[in-house]
């Protein structure tokens, strides 16, 4: 483990870089279950998924999106587990790589140390990414700047941003979190399943055949 008081220096080699990410302990003192970074990266991937942070099941297994939220996400993508967990096709890089702990109403937000420390270095090793799924408010707040949409900073809610999803495509697609906690959101926003999900499936399938 790297001393938590020292930031790690990204390596030029992807294998070495991933080793550094998985050995990271920068915020170890704040992690109730200890560090276990979860990430899936390959330079050939064309689809990138940026979510929030692992839950307890993902922490325990070390497998990203290995929970009911992942089941719903794969349903949106119309993608089986074999394809989803092929890093040559799908890259997975959450805002926080480790389980952050429980809050008053669910898991705590992803730790803020991860993205500034690792994302740019990992993205630079993925030159073929054509579509990035930004799942949840934290990924969207971090990646959607005024450069991506003239109105990027003017959304009051995640719902407003997702409703205006075409403003960010084809580079990004903002999505709600597929958590079972959001069942009411899905019920109240049927346009998401009828408009956004079909586009997502079509784009995903076109990327996989390249």
Is residue 198 in some structural domain? yes
Q: Exposed e or buried b for every residue in 133-151, given b needs 16+ CB within 10 A? A: bbbbbbbbbbbbeeebbee
Question: By the 8 A CB rule, do 78 and 188 touch?
Answer: no
The answer, as to whether pTM is greater than 0.85, is: yes
pLDDT digits over 150-159, tens only?
555 578 899 9
Question: By the 8 A CB rule, do 47 and 20 touch?
Answer: no
Is residue 178 in some structural domain? yes
What does the pLDDT read at residue 7? Answer: 45
Is residue 23 in some structural domain? no
pLDDT digits over 92-130, tens only?
999 999 999 998 878 999 999 999 999 999 999 999 999
Is residue 31 in some structural domain? no
Is residue 14 in some structural domain? no
Is residue 159 in some structural domain? yes
Domain assignment of residue 80, given as a range:
38-208
Is residue 163 in some structural domain? yes
Distance CA 89, CA 84 (A): 7
Least confident of 34-43, 146-155, 185-194: 146-155
pLDDT digits over 52-85, tens only?
999 999 999 999 999 999 999 999 999 999 999 9
State the total domains in the chain.
1
Examine the pLDDT at 2 and tell me if it is beyond 50. no
Is residue 139 in some structural domain? yes
CATH number of the domain that 199 lies in? 3.40.470.10
Q: What is the dihedral of CA 72, 76, 81, 83, to 10 degrees?
A: -160
């Amino acid at each position: 483990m790297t001393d938590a008081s020292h930031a790690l220096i990204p390596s030029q080699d992807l294998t070495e870089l991933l080793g550094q990410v998985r050995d990271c302990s920068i915020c170890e003192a704040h992690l109730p279950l200890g560090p276990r970074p979860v990430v899936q990266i390959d330079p050939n991937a064309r689809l990138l998924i940026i979510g929030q942070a692992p839950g307890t099941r993902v922490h325990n297994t070390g497998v990203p999106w290995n929970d009911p939220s992942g089941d719903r996400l794969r349903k949106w993508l119309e993608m089986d587990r074999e394809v989803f967990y092929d890093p040559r096709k799908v890259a997975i890089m959450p805002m926080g790589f480790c389980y952050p702990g429980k809050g008053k109403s669910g898991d705590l937000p992803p730790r803020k140390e991860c993205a500034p420390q690792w994302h740019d270095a990992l993205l630079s090793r993925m030159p073929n990414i054509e579509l990035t799924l930004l799942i949840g408010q934290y990924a969207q707040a971090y990646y959607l700047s005024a450069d991506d949409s003239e109105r990027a900073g003017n959304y009051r809610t995640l719902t407003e941003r997702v409703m205006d999803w075409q403003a960010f495509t084809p580079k990004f697609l903002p999505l709600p979190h597929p958590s079972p906690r959001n069942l009411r959101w899905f019920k109240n926003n049927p346009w998401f399943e009828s408009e956004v999900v079909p586009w997502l499936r079509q784009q995903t399938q076109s990327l996989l055949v390249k």
